A and B are shown apart, each in its own frame.
Chain A
Amino acid sequence: MIAKEEMSLKERMARMKVVEGSYAVAHAVKCCAPDVISAYPITPQTHIVEHLSQFVADGELDSEFLTVDSEFSAMSSLVGASAAGARCYSSTTSQGLALMWEVLYNAAGMRLPIVMTVANRALSAPLNIWNDQQDSVGARDSGWIQLYAEDVQEAADAIPQAYKIAEDPEILTPVMVCMDGFILTHVYEPVELMSAEEVERFLPPYRPEHILDPNNPKTFGAFADPSYFTELRYMQWDAHRRALNKIETVAREFAEQFGRWYGGLIDTYHADDAEVMIVTMGSVIGTIKDCIDMMRSEGLKVGLVKIRSYRPFPTEALRKALKDAEVVAVIEKDVTVGNEGALLTDLKAALYNTPARVPVIGFPAGLGGRDITVRDIRRVVDKAIAARDRGIEAEMEFLSLREDLL
């Protein structure tokens, strides 16, 4: 699937640098040359915008860097800037994303192609700065496209892809690139840093059709009464449907130029003959892949489906990937209090009307930064096999609950 650009592995290794995840993302943003960056610092996102502000201060990046008084202002200022035709970037996390909530819907509804990195972190209370995905999963209905990154390289490479998807005139929808806080933002990894020239070839300049222009005045986000609102929502929904293809295409174009492929809407690992399938998203995928290698060497047929695009939800791709599985286990770093995991619900809904309705069980795990260990994943696989052989006992179960605390 990969690699055109005539570059040997050796040359690519020479281009690699060991950098912090936040730096890699900031560097990718720099290469996309956003006109306006607006952000409010919040752990663990802070480093990303710190690096960006350094780039601007050093004259490496010609952008308007707005230091605002809250995340609400950050997104609000970008809504204005984007409506005026600027390429915009922000990043946030957790309570910051929650404070942006109202404006998230505005940005999506006005069809402004803003790109934002979400450094996933748990939501209070209790106050917790560590990683889980409750924040962005909670924003899944806001109309933003959500891409989840498995590692630092993917999080950085998703930025130009996100702009290309968002700014497509057929899509015009903001994109959230979600990366696990601390696990990816604060880790030092060898990363192949792209250059501005390469990105320029990949990402065309933003040429908006509709902008705020005194000579041709227009209103964005105007009042729409009941006779219009449904159609506008439909058009948003329809843009997400078109984005399903666009995300695949852009990922492929990226792979052709840069030689790095992360899957389109989803990616699979040892999925062809797998009896037990694990479905998940984010950085835990690395651990799961290692674990699958181990279990495969023991003869256990375990496979993985990695969700890259959570919104739009890749229903068809998942149906195809999971149709031969005997049992599916969902591991996710969020929980819908009062129901079950959000991804578990979505996945079950996607499979419900198919003839091959496999048993699906779910495990909220790694909440508030708790490690998901190889032993945890083995336990998931054991439980999945038990569910296949003896029927489902519990559809959802918290993974590695500390009974001593309860």
Chain B
Amino acid sequence: MKITVAALTEPGSTVVNKTGGWRTFVPVVNHRRCIKCSLCEIYCPEGCIHQIEGLFVPDLDYCKGCGVCAHECPRKAIDMVLEEK
């Protein structure tokens, strides 16, 4: 979204404003270990892990890299990896 002079946004602007830009670590899901318990989706404070075709996938446009999903995963299926930019 092109920002305007007065730094203001339309309602619902986070649809176009991606808030995941300041992440250091990125969650990488090992889908083979995943037992589909959905705890990562439940615990994600940004609500940005979605079930897509049966797989739990973080939406990296909004993921802040907090690592809560990796911490909660009972199968240790999620690794927090230093993100290269």
A178 to chain B, nearest CB (A): 25
- B21 contacts A227, C-beta separation under 8 Å: yes
Name the B residues within 8 Å of A224 (CB-CB).
7
Contact A232 B7 (CB under 8 A): yes
| A228 neighbours in B (Cβ, 8 Å) | 3, 17
Q: How far is A239 from B6 in the complex, measured between Cα atoms in Å? A: 11
Q: How far is the CA of A231 from the CA of B2 in the complex (A)?
A: 10
Which of B5, B9, B11, B19 is in CB contact (< 8 Å) with A172?
A: B5
Contact A219 B8 (CB under 8 A): yes
User: Given that A210-B8, A218-B9, A220-B8 are contacting pairs, would A225 and B3 also be in contact in the complex, using a CB cutoff of 8 Å?
Assistant: no
* B9 proximity list for chain A (CB < 8 A): 218-219, 222
Asked if A59 CB lies within 8 Å of chain B CBs, one says no
Which residues of chain A are near B6, meaning CB under 8 Å? Answer: 110-112, 172, 210, 220
Which residues does chain A contribute within 8 Å of B8, judged by CB atoms?
Answer: 110, 210, 218-220, 222
Does the CB pair A225–B22 fall under 8 Å?
yes
Distance (whole angstroms) from the CB of B48 to the closest CB of chain A: 14
Q: Which residue of B lies closest to A228 (CB)?
A: B3
Contact with B along A90-113 (1 / 0, CB 8 A): 000000000000000000011110
SS class, residues of chain A in contact with chain B: loop
Alpha-carbon separation in the docked complex, A226 to B22 (Å): 6
| B10 within 8 A of partner (CB) | yes
A386 within 8 Å of B by Cβ? no
**What is the distance, in angstroms, from A174's C-beta to the closest C-beta of chain B?**
12
B22 & A210 in contact (Cβ 8 Å cutoff) = no
A217 within 8 A of B: yes
In the complex, A235 has a CB within 8 A of chain B:
yes
Tell me, yes or no, whether B31 is within 8 Å of chain A by CB: no
Closest residue on chain A to residue B22 by CB atoms: A226
Interface residues on A, range: 20 to 34
Contact with B along A207-239 (1 / 0, CB 8 A): 000100000011111101111100110010001
Residues of B contacting A222 with CB < 8 Å?
7-9, 13
User: If the complex has contacts A228-B3, A235-B5, are A217 and B11 also in contact, measured as CB distance less than 8 A?
Assistant: yes
CB distance from A227 to the nearest CB of B (A): 3
B3 pairs with A232, CB closer than 8 A:
yes
Interface check B36, CB cutoff 8 A: no
Chain B neighbourhood of A232, CB < 8 A: 3, 7
The residue in chain B whose Cβ has the minimal distance to the Cβ of A216 is B10
Tell me, in angstroms, the Cα distance from A172 to B9 when the chains sit together. Answer: 17
Within 4-33 of B, Cβ neighbours of A (below 8 Å) are at 4-11, 13, 17-19, 21-22
Residue of B nearest to A172 (CB): B5
Give which listed residue, B5, B10, B13, B22, contacts A227 with CB less than 8 A: B22
Q: What B residues does A226 contact at CB under 8 A?
A: 21-22
Chain B nearest CB from A116 CB (Å) reads: 19
Distance between B37 CB and nearest chain A CB, rounded to angstroms: 31
Tell me the bound Cα distance from A299 to B6 in angstroms.
Answer: 53
| Chain B residue with the shortest CB-CB distance to A231 | B3
List chain B positions with a Cβ less than 8 A from chain A: 3-11, 13, 17-19, 21-22
16 A-B pairs, CB-CB below 8 angstroms? A110-B8, A169-B5, A210-B5, A217-B10, A219-B13, A220-B7, A222-B13, A225-B21, A225-B22, A227-B21, A227-B22, A228-B3, A232-B7, A235-B3, A235-B5, A239-B5
Q: Which 10 A-B pairs have the closest CB atoms?
A: A227-B21, A111-B6, A218-B8, A226-B22, A210-B6, A217-B11, A232-B7, A220-B8, A219-B9, A222-B9
Interface of A with B (CB < 8 Å)?
A: 109-112, 169, 172, 210, 217-222, 224-228, 231-232, 235, 239
Contacts beyond the supplied A172-B5, A172-B6, A217-B11: 11 A-B pairs with Cβ under 8 Å: A110-B6, A111-B5, A111-B7, A210-B4, A217-B10, A221-B7, A224-B7, A225-B21, A226-B21, A232-B7, A239-B5
